[in-house]
Amino acid sequence: MTTTYTAEEVSHHNSEENLWMIIHGGVYDVTKFLSEHPGGEEVLLKLGGQDGTTCFDDIGHTTEAIQLRERYRIGEVGTSGVNNSGPSRPDDTPKDNTEWMIEKDKQKPSPLLPIFVGILAIIYASLFYYLP
């Protein structure tokens, strides 16, 4: 059974000694991760007790970071306590946020693909034109 917290309850956990945050409706106790965070402690402290969904998504965390995040999950925010300012999970996606984020990452097309195809076309055209 998952523990449910209100946004108000989470907001009281905003110090170095006791740091929680909300990401995609999940509640995470990141106190022990504070000193290990690659982006620095200040980033987590600034978002302590708040919904960090938008910030987490804007940074572009790796699949590994998303999976690591789940180690610190302690519950979820009740629907009345969720800050809906950040992106939310579509209704038809799996309820496990990790699966949804991994699937979301897989759907992103590479911005380098058109460049790579263009370079290959130029090389092919050059070889076709200059070789007998």
pLDDT at 32 over 60: yes
Q: What is residue 110's DSSP assignment?
A: P
How high is the pLDDT of residue 82? 45
Select 4-130's CATH number: 3.40.640.10, 3.10.120.10, 3.30.300.20, 1.10.10.10: 3.10.120.10
pLDDT at 49 over 90: yes
Q: What is the mean pLDDT of the chain?
A: 80
The structure tokens listed for 38 are 């690659």
Q: Where are the domains of the chain?
A: 4-130
Residues in contact with 84: Cβ distance below 8 Å, sequence separation at least 6, in sequence order: none
Residues 41-80 as b or e (16 or more Cβ within 10 Å = b): eeebbebbbbbbbebbeeeebeeeebeebeebbebbbeee
pLDDT at 119 over 70: yes
